[in-house]
Copies of this chain bind each other. A is one copy, B any other.
């Protein structure tokens, strides 16, 4: 089997990563779908790339037998394209936030605009395979999780399920992301001289990724504090997560909770007690790495969760979802 997979938004960082991953995928081949001219500043090689480039209309999808499309586009473009591509018979993974929050009310509150495809909201399962795998297999349309929520949910939900969190202390997620997480559009905030030798917090306590964590981890809003911060580097997210256990627990005991949940997960890696991942461990991979440190005497715990925001946080996870949709090996093209 060789499925043609179209990428809309292939010049963006997530889109370009998807093209690269699909170029090495055993069952899929990428096709670039040019939706809007965005400047076109590719390398001008004499020998041209063999990746085909087409328009982004539904006819193109049909005429070229494109079996699936990854939308690496802003929410408003995704809302416009999803119904067209589904009608054209393609499977769709949407990497934007358009279909993650389930209701028009939540979308309006956190994205500050009206949702234009409310009827599709119910048919877009949230593509976090470690939690919802069986609900994703064979589906036509999947909403790909946000980068921050992927790292946060994988770290937090097992703790909620195991019922070991002290509610009085809440859960604090101090998150740091590389600059590619802000997308490729030029802006002063992501200009080189503003970012280098700098570190800054933004959207403190009100980031639009918060509801994705609440909905999928089981925490409630009052119990969860989230700060997003910009690192002077290209790619990677590291979240330092603080909580108290209801009873004293060693790091090994907390790790046992994670092991019970993730023993067979191909893309979650756990560290020995007292060790935590750094960004070099996960860059250019589809892994989520998790480490635990605790002080049983005071019940204080720190969990560090790290992913590549363009890998498990975007294009890698999208391909993991694509594999589930297509009924092929879930890890295909991802090691």
Q: Which residues of A contact B (CB under 8 A)?
A: 13, 24, 39, 41, 43-47, 168-170, 172, 174, 176, 178-180, 184, 186-188, 190-201, 204-205, 221-222, 225, 227, 229, 231-236, 238, 240, 242, 244, 255, 259, 269-272, 275-281, 283-284, 289, 293, 295, 297-298, 300, 302, 304, 335
Contact = CB atoms under 8 A, between A and B. Distances in A.
- Stoichiometry, copies per complex: 4
A238 to B, nearest CB: 5
Given A44-B272, A191-B191, A271-B45, A222 B293 contact: no
Contacts of A201: 238, 240, 276, 278, 302, 304
A198 B270 contact: no
B197 A191 contact: no
Given A174-B240, A198-B233, A200-B278, 14 more contacts: A44-B275, A46-B270, A46-B271, A47-B270, A180-B193, A186-B187, A192-B194, A192-B195, A198-B279, A201-B304, A204-B304, A205-B293, A225-B242, A232-B232
Contacts of A44: 271-272, 275
A305 to B, nearest CB: 11
Contacts of A298: 221-222
Contact of A191 (B169, B190, B238, B304): B190
Contacts of A196: 179, 192, 196-197, 232-234
A300 B170 contact: yes
Given A46-B270, A242-B225, A283 B197 contact: yes
Candidate in A201, A235, A272, A289 with the most chain B CB atoms within 10 angstroms: A201
Q: Which 6 A-B pairs have the closest CB atoms?
A: A200-B278, A174-B174, A168-B168, A222-B298, A192-B195, A179-B192
B272 A193 contact: no
A45 B269 contact: yes
Given A191-B186, A205-B293, A43 B271 contact: yes
Given A199-B176, A233-B199, A190 B193 contact: yes
8 contacts: A41-B188, A44-B272, A172-B172, A179-B196, A186-B187, A194-B280, A196-B233, A197-B233
